[in-house]
Amino acid sequence: MKNYGSPAFNAVRGEGVYLYDENDTRFLDFGSGIAVTSVGHSHPKWVKAVQEQAATLTHCSNLYGIPGQQKLADRLVEQAGPGRVLFCNSGAEANEALIKLARLHGQQLSGGKEAKRFTVVAAENAFHGRTFGGMGATPQEKIQGGFRPMLEGFKFGQLNNIESFDQLVDDSVAAVFIESIQGEGGIFPADESFLQELRALCTERGALLMLDEVQCGIGRSGHFFAFEKSGVKPDAIGMAKGLGGGFPIGAIWVSEPYADLFQPSSHGTTFGGSPLACAAANATLDIIEADNLIDEVATNSSIWHEGLQDLIKKYPQHIAGMRGAGYMVGLPLHTDALAVTAAARAKNMLIVPAGKNTIRLLPPLTATLKELAESVRILDEVFAELGKN
């Protein structure tokens, strides 16, 4: 199919923060498979866990209990708070489940009849996936174009503008659904004060507060969940990407008051939370905990950000600023982001474009200060050469 562009090279193996092509050219991978390989490529402990599970049991379906799934659910509840976890295979599936949760909540508010409150208020510039529910919550022409009519029941406020959401959250609204840090949209964090005000607004109006942590979660921000710094307690969280460390897995956590909304037959998945997927995710969390990676991200990112700020001062004609947190950084550009992405790749560094002319820097949580400094050095060369052209 032609939905992807032509690949720049064939990727054949990975090791730590590096990806290799078929000619054994080594690339500093600061895309991490779009924020997926959270503990680097082929981490030995991760590989061992996946190999051992593959040799024992890969799949049995959710008709039976899966000990690794139960263990993973307990760990996520420990991080998020009292509640329950539902596993799936991707961020889009996680977000789809959250939209279904909102519908069930709205039906409950309507006394068990057909939901009168089913609208979800999302944010402008959001990205919640490419399923019909996810597209409905993603107000971008490049995502929705060609697929209308969209699923009904979505309204959009301005991120970090509580007055905008205040006007939209009325008695037709079942949930508010935002990314703690907008990823595909260009790396726009939700302000701490905005999240706190949004929490209060949702509580007052009986709407769920659902946070999409698919890209920004699992330690990438320097906290396990990116919203944690605000101190808010959401009603539901979507996660995926970095949770499996490279193996597909998604999940939603739902807080205790709403954890019983899903009942038998109301939702299901053949592959979600398989023994193999949960072995990968448990190994990822083991590595994050054993190596204290979240604290490492919090500490190292402040030094890395200083280096990036120096680039902004050095090349104001090319770089418009910096947004993000931890190992999730966006550099909005005055120069074409695709050209910068290609120029970095020519110097053996991989980055990912996003939003309106922004480049994303998404190193694995295992990236060292030396590797972070190397990324700044390469970008320095890229922007220096752009200035000569």
Range of the domain at 323: 11-30+292-388
Q: Which residue, 60, 30, 105, 35, is CA-closest to 255?
A: 105
CA 28 to chain centre: 21
Find the mean pLDDT for residues 16-36: 98
pLDDT tens profile 305-320: 999 999 999 999 999 9
| pLDDT confidence of residue 111 | 75
Q: Identify whether the C-beta of residue 337 lies closer than 8 Å to the C-beta of residue 169.
A: no
Asked if 266 and 353 sit in the same domain, the reply is no
| pLDDT confidence of residue 110 | 78
| pLDDT confidence of residue 116 | 80
Asked if 60 and 161 sit in the same domain, the reply is yes
| pLDDT confidence of residue 112 | 66
pLDDT tens profile 175-202: 999 999 999 999 999 999 999 999 999 9
Residues pairing with 250 in the sheet: 88
pLDDT tens profile 151-180: 999 999 999 999 999 999 999 999 999 999
Inside any domain, residue 304: yes
Asked if 132 and 17 sit in the same domain, the reply is no
389 has a pLDDT exceeding 70: no
Residue partners of 54: CB distance under 8 A and separation at least 6 = 276
Task: List the structure tokens of 271.
Answer: 């592959």
Give the predicted TM-score (pTM) of the model.
0.97
Last residue of a domain, one of 290, 309, 331: 290
Find the mean pLDDT for residues 272-293: 98
Give the whole-angstrom CA distance, residue 331 versus residue 358: 5
Find the mean pLDDT for residues 353-368: 97
Asked if 94 and 195 sit in the same domain, the reply is yes
Asked if 153 and 254 sit in the same domain, the reply is yes
| pLDDT confidence of residue 114 | 66
* CATH number for the domain harbouring residue 343: 3.90.1150.10
pLDDT over 70 percentage in the chain: 98
Asked if 15 and 61 sit in the same domain, the reply is no
Our count of domains for the chain comes to: 2
Asked if 166 and 63 sit in the same domain, the reply is yes
Q: What is the three-state SS of 164-223? A: HHHHHCCCCEEEEEEECEECCCCCEECCHHHHHHHHHHHHHHCCEEEEECCCCCCCCCCC
